[in-house]
Amino acid sequence: MPRRRSAVRLALLKPHPAASAVLTLADLAAWSRPGTALAVLGHPIKHSISPAMHNAALAALARADARFADWHYVRFEIHPADLPQALDLLHAKKFRGVNLTVPHKIIAFDRVVALDPAARPVGAVNTLHWAERGWHGFNTDGYGLASAVRETLGRDLAGTHVILLGAGGAARGAAVECLQRRCASLWIANRTRATLDTLLAALAPVAPGVPLHGFASAAPPPDLPSGALVINATSAGLRPTDEPPVDLTALPHVAAVFDMIYNPPQTPLLRQAYFLGQPHAHGLAMLVHQGAKSLEHWSGIPAAQTAPTMAVAARAALGLT
């Protein structure tokens, strides 16, 4: 037994080369690594910090519980056209769990044999759990958002007026979470009206009774509620030259601003919130909490237990202090 323990400890000290590599479909087809495998698939995947977060959490779990000694999390660069084949291979090779990032969340939605009811109105899954008959699908992004808003801004989505910026995939998940938690009202702003109208139509049945409105980002209506939480779910802010997706001075009193973008950690929108003295936070805590919830689905370990380790690893991976 002591020999086995020291072998485990050595394995923990020396990360497997696949832990940081960007693997391909060919690597997956040839996959024969023993142990319990988890993976994230994306296109592109090079910048994902999920392997750093999950492997840090798994290493911490393994120190206390030998069941996790052979668990590992790797990343695969998978073209959308190859996703069905990749999911079949991952299932055949008995990967215990899979995370999906852009652009796979919607494509994978149609490839699960069972769906968490909370994921249905989102129309996208970011977490798959292996089962004999096929993949079970979940979406932990909404949980990540709600947890991050509570942790970083001290606010609950329930009972809060929310102004949501964007009408893409992340906005749809955020909107469903706000409605399912029964926010006081939800106001969605987008640059392109047609995309906004499609989203509003899809959201209408989610939470009857919760006021739901849309508006053009460039023309905020005069009846917007005072004291709202503003959530940015657009990609405006990924580049330093981007304009903020809305002018915060054109809104009534804003209670707080949450930007889903975390890299860069300071976006033009957050800079404006800072100068206006409004409480604000970037999206790293959301990434951490959705990851910890995924790991809970695969391991049974409560997300609250692994999130702190993931947060430290995520900040280190991004070079944040």
Cβ closer to ligand NDP: 32 or 249?
A: 249
Q: Which of residues 73-102 bind ligand NDP (CB under 6 A)?
A: 102
Q: Is 169 in the site for ligand NDP (CB under 6 A)?
A: yes
Measured from each CB, the residue nearest to ligand NDP is 168
Q: What angle do CA 268, 47, 15 make, to 5 degrees?
A: 135
**Measured from the CB of residue 286, what is the shortest distance to ligand NDP in angstroms?**
4
Separation in Å, CA 129 to CA 43, 76, 132, 280, 290: 21, 17, 10, 34, 15
Asked if 173 and 141 count as a contact pair (C-beta separation under 8 A), the reply is: yes
Cβ closer to ligand NDP: 141 or 296?
A: 141
Q: Which of residues 149-168 bind ligand NDP (CB under 6 A)?
A: 166-168
Please choose, from the candidates 289, 238, 309, 262, the residue with its C-alpha nearest in 3D space to the C-alpha of residue 59. Answer: 309
Residues whose CB falls within 8 Å of the CB of residue 67, separated by 6 or more in sequence, listed in order: none
Q: Please state whether 166 falls in left (phi above 0), alpha (psi between -120 and 50) or beta.
A: left
Q: What is the DSSP letter of 237?
A: T
Rounded Cα–Cα distance for residues 310 and 287 (Å): 9
The verdict on whether 46 is a catalytic residue reads no
Q: Which of residues 280-319 bind ligand NDP (CB under 6 A)?
A: 283, 286-287, 290
Q: Which of 18, 261, 269, 310 binds ligand NDP (CB under 6 A)?
A: 261
> Which amino acid, residue 177?
E
Q: Which of residues 170-189 bind ligand NDP (CB under 6 A)?
A: 170-171
Cβ closer to ligand NDP: 180 or 232?
A: 232
Residue tagged active-site, from 14, 94, 105, 293: 105
List the catalytic residues: 105
User: Which residues are at the interface with ligand NDP (CB under 6 A)?
Assistant: 102, 141, 144, 166-171, 190-192, 195, 233-236, 238, 242, 245, 260-262, 283, 286-287, 290
